[in-house]
Each structure stands twice: as C-alpha cells, then as structure tokens.
Amino acid sequence: MSDVVLTTENLSKTYMMGKREVPALRNLNLQVNRGEFVAVMGPSGSGKTTLLNVLGCLDKPTSGKVILDKVDVSNLHERELYKIRRNKIGFIFQTFNLLPYLNAIENIELPMENAKASKSERRAKAGKLLGLVGLAGREEHRPQRLSAGEQQRVAIARALANDPAIILADEPTGNLDTKNKHEIVRLLAKLNIDQGTTVIMVTHDSQVASHTERMLLLNDGKIAKEKQGLLVTKKKNICPYCGGKIQPSDYRCPSCNKRL
Amino acid sequence: MVIIALGFSMAIMISIPAGIIANQESAQNLSSTYSNTLNSYQEQINQTLTLIECSLSSGFTSGGFPGGFPGGSPGGMFGGGQYYIYENITDAILSIPGVKDVVPILQVTEGHNETISRFDRTFTILRPDYVIVGVPLNSSLINNYSFLPTNITAGRNLQENDTGVVILSQNNTGYFGVGLGDEVSILGTNFDVVGIQGASSSSDFTNMMNLYMNITDAQTLTNLTGMISRFDVYVNSSDYASTVSSEIQSMYPDGVLTSADTLATISTSTYGDRLSRLQNMTSMYQDTLNTAESTLTQTQSTATDEIIIAVVATSLIVLFVMLYTVRERTKEIGTLKAIGFSSWNVMSQFVLEGTLLSLAAGVVGIAIGSVGAPFLSGILVPFNLFGSNQNGGRGSFGFGFASANPTTPGVAVVAAVPSLQIMLIALGAAVLLGALGSLYPAWRASRIRPAEAMRYE
C-alpha cells in the first residue's frame, strides 16, 4: 500500500480574460505517491504551470480539491496557505529566483527564517544542504558569482530547507545548457532515490522528462497520456537500456556504457 | 540619489525652523538693543537738565542729536557737510543772562568717500574712519561738565592741559593698529595713546569712532585754528533753558559765518527738545519692533506652509520610491511568498526598508542642514529680518544705525543654525514619514498574488 502524498479531485481552474472564460485545468485527477518523481509535460497552454501553481498553493482552484499530505488545501485562507508553502512545499523555478543580495548560504536559510530553529541550527542545516547539492565551500558566494547550474543547485537546496513533503519544479532545466540540464536532473533523481524526496517537475523537454519515474502528458487541461520513465528500472538497479546490473552510484552502465 | 533628494527635503525641514528661531532671536536682540539704547540716552538726558546742545546745519534743521545720536552721526551720513565757526562765538553766548558756561568742541570726521547705489539712485557718502573730537581741557570745565569719554577701559582719561596725547576707542585701535602706550600718527602728527575708551558695544556705538584730544591740538591738526564745530551751553538752572535757547537762535537770524565763508544755522537742543526727540525715537523703535513682529508672524506662517510642503514632498518621495521598489521587486516578493513568507513578513520588510531609507536620508539631511541652514533658510524663510548682508543692511530697520558703518554690529543678527533639538525632531520625523510613506507600497507588496508575481518579469 503506497503512501499517497498528493491527490487532486476533479481539479479545475478557469481564468477570466475580460468576460471570456479560459479553462486552464478541466476536472484533472491525479495521485502522487510519496517518493515518486513525476514529470508533467505538454505543449504550451496545456495547463502545466497552472497545475503547478495550484498544487503549490500559489493559486486557488476554481473547483475541485487538492489534498496535500492529507490536508485539503483548496479552500484554505492565505493566512494558512503560507505556512503550507513554507513547511510542505519546496519550489524550484526556471529562473532560479535567488535573492541577489544574499549569498548562497543565506539564500538557503531564507525559508527557515520563520522556523523555530536557532540561527546556528539553521546555518548548520543550510551548510549540509549546500554540501548535498555539491556546492560545499561556496557558502559566501552571491548568485552573480555562481554559474547558472550552480544557482539552480542553490535553489534546490533552498527548496529542501524545511524538509517539504513535495518539491515542485517549474522548468528547472529551462535556462540551462545540456550539460547542466543533465546534472540537475541527475541531482533531482539522486535526491529522490537517496532522500525519498517527492518531486513533481514541469518540463517540455522529453529527454529530461524521460529520466523520471512517471511522465504525464497534459493536453487541454487534462492528463492525456501517462508513460513510465527510465527511473523505474534504475531504482531496481537495472540498466534501462540493456537490462544489465547497475549500482545506484554508476554514472554510466557498466555493460552497455550508456549514460544513466 | 534618492537619499540625497530626501536629504534635501529633510534639510529644508531643518533649516526653516532654524531660520525662524534665528529670526526670533534676532528680533529679541533688536528689541533689547533698542531698549538698551533708549535707556542709555534717557540716562544721558537726565544728567543734562541744564545743557543746551548747539550744533550747526546748512539752514534746515538736522534731526540729529549733536551729542552724536544715531541720525546725526558725526558730520552727517549722506553728503552732509561739516561746518566750522569761529570760537569767539562763545564769548557772545556767555554774555546771555542765565548762561553759566560754554564748552566749545571741534569735531572732525575723517573718512573716505564711497559711492553706493540704493534703490535707483547713486549717492556719494563719507564713510567715517574715525572722528577727531577736540575738547577744552581747562579744570573749571572738565571738573564740572561731562564731555570727556566716560568709559575708560585702559590707561587714563584726558587731564587738565594735556597736549600731544589722545584717547582712542577700541575701534580706533583696530583702525590705526596701535594700542595703549603706543604712538599714533593722526593726519601726520604723532600722539601718545594714554587711554582707551571702551565704546564699542552695540549699546554705545555713537562714540565708538571717537578719539579725544585737546581742542587746541585738534585745531592745529586739522588746520582749523580758532574754529569749533559745536558747543555745549550750560545755564544756571533748567528754568533758563528755553529762554537762552531762543536767545541764541535770535542772535544770529541769518546764520553764523563759517570757515568756508558761508553761513550756517545754529540748532539748539534743550532737555525738553531732547526728551521729545527721545519719545519720537521710542515710538519709531516701537514701530520697527511692531513691523518686525508682524513680519515674523507672516514669515512663520509662510514657513509653516513650506514645512508642510517639505513634509508632503518627503512622504511622496518615499511613497513613489517604495512603489517603484515594489514594482521592481515583484518577482522577489513572489519568490518570498512562494517559499513561505507571510504577507505580514513581506509588508514589515518593506516598511522597515522605507524607514531605514528615510533614516539614512534624515542623517544626510542633517548633514546638509547643519552646513546649509544659513543659506537654505535665507532662501526659504521669505523675509529674513536683517538679511544676510549686514553692511548697509535694510535701511528701513536701522534708521541708519544698524547700518551706520561697516564695522558697527548694531544688532547682533543670529545665524540660522539648527539646534540639536530640531535635528532630533527632524530625525524622528524622517523615521515617521519613512514608515508612513512606505505603508501603502508595503501593503501593495503584501497583496501581490504569488502566482502572478512569478509570471512577472
């Protein structure tokens, strides 16, 4: 019996463009288990970002429910929602959205600002997270002194700061070159495998999406198609390309030498 | 940039009250100077019930006090000539019944010509450098009457039959560059400085340019041998004053022959005349004070308007800067909200920023204000009672006495320097205005919906 972390029931979101109603989500039903890595794909205007905003409590659904970690968040007031966002959700953005006047470690500490932890505990945790994303030693660097890939790593560490139930990533590789793109996806997959972090990632890059467990194709505000990703076999320590045995730490398959 | 703009606004808020306070203090100084002056004249007048002061004029009556009262400063200020008559007139005067003594005095103003423009006219005036006052040094006169300087601050006063010696005023010592015990060259003749008279305070500016010497020395020095410029007539009792006064007038209906072979009219001034002039003067001073007071009130109300404008401007600057900041940082606000900041967190951060901004501006403002207050208040406070320009000042206020000469302080004008209290109030106002001005932008920021903010580039 897998543990469901996120459920939507007949989720709809309609925007008003003047007097015209523009439906972005139509009766969307979705279930995400704890520890899953899900990619949401689809053409532009298919409702990917809207879905992510509604799931992330940044926007309210027009109708339907969002149940996050057993709490129905669809009708909560803003007074409650910010706590949900702080404690249950970690956001990763396409443009990283680090605060330019804070250094790497301060950016990571930011979501913990209102948590009960002491200053030194927060600093220690932020340092640990920075190490987890492979940027130990870059604590004092401001965003403008970090490469795009490094900035996104800091943003990922920031998203993990309050041990959220779910990470919502909106085109996290959209602003990155091929090399960094792969590294970020691998990092997310690694966190997913090692820490059991649940990730929902919106992307239009099918190659990036294929590295997840489950790929959802959104069309016209509905889930049009669902596909299994490469991560499923990888989690079983089997190479998705040749079926050979692999270790979780392998970068390339020892049998077929394909990049994992 | 913003901080400097705000700083100026703050500086205005500091300078105006400083200017007002300075004006008030200047007005108080004016008032106390007037009352000191009037009191000292009253004293002088009271001591001289039996004195008839006689001076010379060109036919029309000068309003001046021969003793050197403001309007009649030595020789007259504006193109007035100096008249010298033969000293044997004193014998004729002495023969009038009731006359006890006559004190001849030769007073010669030495100065330089200066052309000044006032309104649309040009005047050539004699700027006095010093005034030679020759007085008779016979024991019978100096022991009984007061015509020698009264406030010797160093050395001694003139004594019977002194010759070749001089009493300088503080002012003279500066002009000649000499001190007590030195030798001073006056019009080419050397004199020993035996005493210094301290007439330099603002309440006794009438004598501050006078240097006193034996009348014979003065006559030789100025090539006016046998000549005098005025004389004091003492009568046996005050009852004779008016009859002797009119007798003197009637003795010379056409005037008295002067050294320049012209005729000069003798003007007399009895105790009664002087008293009524003092009363005139008192009421003129009072008028001036009233004008000053009403100007001050007007100034204050204008200044209040200006302060209100400065306050509004400051708030608006903060308001717009913060609104702009909120716009600029919409995405950041969205991010903060997405990662779990409450609306309250966001709002308080922006209010704090606005307050800090104004606080910094307040500090800059105080810096500008403390340096620039005298200039700023000069521009902003619509009517500075005495202007910043002391020399020649504003004619209407001085009766030519605040502006009698460049070195006369007349009335101590207080410069607009902001006090610590004003600065602290301004700093407090800065913080308050910063908080108020950023309240609305901060509220706007807190209302930003994160989903929309994230879409904002």
- DSSP string over B48-72: TTTEEEEEEESSSPP-S-TTT-GGG
In tens, the pLDDT along B287-303 reads 888 887 887 788 778 77
Q: Which of A93, A97, A152 to mutate to test the interface with B (most CBs of B within 10 A)?
A: A97
pLDDT at B106: 93
DSSP state for residue B182 in the 8-state scheme: -
In tens, the pLDDT along A170-206 reads 999 998 999 999 899 989 998 998 888 999 999 989 9
DSSP state for residue B204 in the 8-state scheme: G
3-state DSSP: chain A helix, strand, coil percent, rounded to 5? 35, 25, 40
| Residue spans per domain, chain B | 2-31+284-455, 51-236
The span from the CA of B274 to the CA of B68, in Å, is 12
In tens, the pLDDT along B10-39 reads 787 777 777 777 777 878 888 888 888 888
pLDDT at B25: 81
DSSP state for residue B220 in the 8-state scheme: H
Q: Where are the beta strands (DSSP E) in chain A?
A: 4-17, 20-33, 37-41, 63-68, 71-72, 89-92, 166-170, 199-202, 214-219, 222-228
pLDDT at B273: 85
From chain B, pick out residues whose CB is under 8 angstroms from the CB of A158. 339
Inter-residue contact A85 to B338 (CB < 8 Å):
yes
B352-383 burial: b if 16+ Cβ within 10 Å, else e? ebbbebbbbbbbbbbebbbebbbebbbebbee
Nearest CA in chain B to A54: B451
Inter-residue contact B137 to B273 (CB < 8 Å):
no
A:36-55 residues touching chain B, CB 8 A cutoff: 53
B103 closest CA partner among B76, B131, B134? B134
Chain-chain contact of A87 with B340 (C-beta, under 8 angstroms): yes
ipTM exceeding 0.95, yes/no: no
From chain A, pick out residues whose CB is under 8 angstroms from the CB of B332. 97, 99
Residue type, B262: T
Q: What residues contact A126, with CB distance under 8 A and at least 6 apart?
A: A105, A106, A108, A109, A112, A157, A161
From chain B, pick out residues whose CB is under 8 angstroms from the CB of A79. 342
3-state secondary structure A105-143: HHHHHHHHCCCCCCHHHHHHHHHHHHHHCCCCCCCCCCH
User: Where is pLDDT greater, at B277 or B217?
Assistant: B217
Share of chain B above pLDDT 90, in %: 17
Distance of CA B249 to the CA centre of its chain: 37
B340 interfacial to chain A (CB closer than 8 Å): yes
Does residue B78 have a pLDDT over 50?
Answer: no
CA distances from B282 to B38, B274, B403 (A): 7, 12, 19
Fold classified for A4-229: Rossmann fold (3.40.50)
* Among the partner residues B331, B334, B340, nearest to A86 by beta-carbon distance: B340
List the structure tokens of A225. 């198609």
Chain-chain contact of A53 with B451 (C-beta, under 8 angstroms): yes
CA distances from B431 to B6, B312, B345 (A): 12, 14, 20
Share of chain A above pLDDT 90, in %: 62
* Among the partner residues B332, B340, B449, nearest to A111 by beta-carbon distance: B340
Chain-chain contact of A97 with B332 (C-beta, under 8 angstroms): yes
Cα distance from B360 to chain A (closest Cα, Å)?
A: 19
pLDDT at A44: 86
In tens, the pLDDT along B159-200 reads 998 999 999 988 888 889 998 999 999 998 999 999 998 765
From chain A, pick out residues whose CB is under 8 angstroms from the CB of B331. 95, 97
Inter-residue contact B369 to B11 (CB < 8 Å):
yes
In tens, the pLDDT along A221-253 reads 999 999 998 888 888 888 888 888 888 777 788
A111 interfacial to chain B (CB closer than 8 Å): yes
DSSP state for residue B413 in the 8-state scheme: P
Q: Which of B328, B449, B452, B454 to mutate to test the interface with A (most CBs of A within 10 A)?
A: B454
Does residue A13 have a pLDDT over 90?
Answer: yes
Does residue A63 have a pLDDT over 90?
Answer: yes
Does residue B395 have a pLDDT over 60?
Answer: no
The span from the CA of B80 to the CA of B135, in Å, is 22
The span from the CA of B230 to the CA of B62, in Å, is 13
In tens, the pLDDT along B205-244 reads 567 788 999 999 999 999 999 999 999 999 988 888 889 9
pLDDT at A161: 92
| Residue spans per domain, chain A | 4-229, 231-260
Where does the pLDDT of residue B111 fall: very low under 50, low under 70, confident under 90, or very high at 90 and above? confident
Q: Which helix (H) or strand (E) covers residue B6, if one does?
A: helix B2-47
